[in-house]
Structure 1
Amino acid sequence: MPASMPLTIQAALVLATRQLSDAGIAGASRDARILMAHVLDIDASRITMVAPEPIDQTAQTAFETCIARRAAREPVSHILGRRSFYGRDFSVTADVLDPRPETEILVEQSLLQPFSSVLDMGTGSGAILLTLLAEQPLAKGLGCDISPKALEVAQQNATQLGLTKQARWCPSDWFTDVSGTFDLIVSNPPYIALDEMQALSHELSHEPRLALTDEADGLTAYRIIADQALNFLSPRGRVLLEIGPTQGAAVADLMMAAGFKGVRVVADLDGRDRVVCAVAPRQ
């Protein structure tokens, strides 16, 4: 191709896909298209339509920067600054855990019964709490997190989704600074055991370690919640906890030992244990 001829969008995508593939990125072509759509500020579904067009130098430079970041294993969501969850976009940064599709199982199970108040422990981006409040418009919720930077992201998401009147935020180490009672308590706590951390994908190194592991056996948060949650639940209130795929029996045992009723483990779409549900006894 003569030097005077501009690079087309399709040619830029081919080069980017090769660069990502050489870096060991699974789904290299998909990621390249998503990042190109981001740079061009168009829907990814339109990439095929504009592929024959030349890419201007500004867009090309921005695209090359995005591809370099992805080749360094930075998550696509961090490059975009957002992640889709339960049909809504949430702002994400390196200060919060990316909301993942498996966590939608927790939301679906929570919505099976009505609630007027909900507490989200370790709220992070606020994706769980804000999704529940958006789906249950008359409910109010409190999201707590030990990280002030995470709460800033959650507040930003509440503003973007128009949920500031329904959601409150509290800096707290689990229940330490929480008060009141709730119909529903939800949490996706750090459940990866310390000895499992080295086997994780490189992308997870860009997410807050505090949200991934308890630096122990992965069950620390569940012990705290099982021990204290009844103090913050209405009679027959529910607790729903996301878990790692090998933790169903252990977390269920903790909840039953603490006096919870109706304890059950719900699998995700891949058949792996994903959520433990429990109900407070009648008082």
Structure 2
Amino acid sequence: MQSSGGALIRDARRRAGLTQAELAARAGTVQPAIARWENGNSSVKLDDVLRLTRLCGLELEFSLVVPRVHSAAKSTGPAVERALARPVHSGGSSTAERIVDAAVECLIDVGWEKATVSEVAARAGLSRPTVYSYFGSREDLLFAVSSAAAQRISAQLLAVAEAGTDSGAEFVVESVVTVVMEYRRDPAASLLALIRPGEILAAQAVEVSRVALLPLLKWEPQVADELDEIAETVMRFVVSLMVDDGSRCRSEDGLRAYLYRRLIPSLHI
């Protein structure tokens, strides 16, 4: 539970508006221990994840489910359309959410290089020290934006799963088609947290891909230990299709056929 447990702790802490030092004080430990867990440099037990999540005022919920048999449905249904219509930002009223909303707007307007903490603070109507009190660095703030984008992407892909698929292969293909087509509709807003100038993959891109692909385990539970590598492979395909869609992949049907020919065999699902 090393990487996913640390990600859950980090998400819970940030939702609670706590610094690593503040969470460490509540947990009776030291800040470097929290940092090691969140960064995946130290393994974390499920009991510790539950305890730290509760210290952030949140609860984790678990359930055992029997995989459902989905009816075949290739077209985009109402559930997918509703997910695609959601804004990238959270639209919340808390100070942390205001900051994230302002950062999203800033990124769309001026891009990564000019999205400074000062600019975000001005757009949020706050001071720079206030922004830093919620997000310790510019990278922490951009990670929060990545998380906001990840929530939207995950909602889209879950909608794809619910819209009707028969297999893990179909889920992956339809998920990639959904994300790529969304990017083509609005490249500024859809995946702004994943693609950065001069980088092939942003630091959090693979983690976002892994979380979004969790529904794959409904059909292919045997690949649980390989999910990180599968997520990286899928994300690399997605990024390459954003950079150059190619003549074979310009239409949805062409893209879908290409993914079945090239992506799915490489994943062994």
TM range (shorter): under 0.3
Between Structure 1 and Structure 2, the one with more strand by share is 1
Higher RCO (CA 8 Å, separation ≥ 6 residues): 2
Between Structure 1 and Structure 2, the one with more helix by share is 2
- Output the TM-score relative to the length of structure 2: 0.27
- Output the TM-score relative to the length of structure 1: 0.26
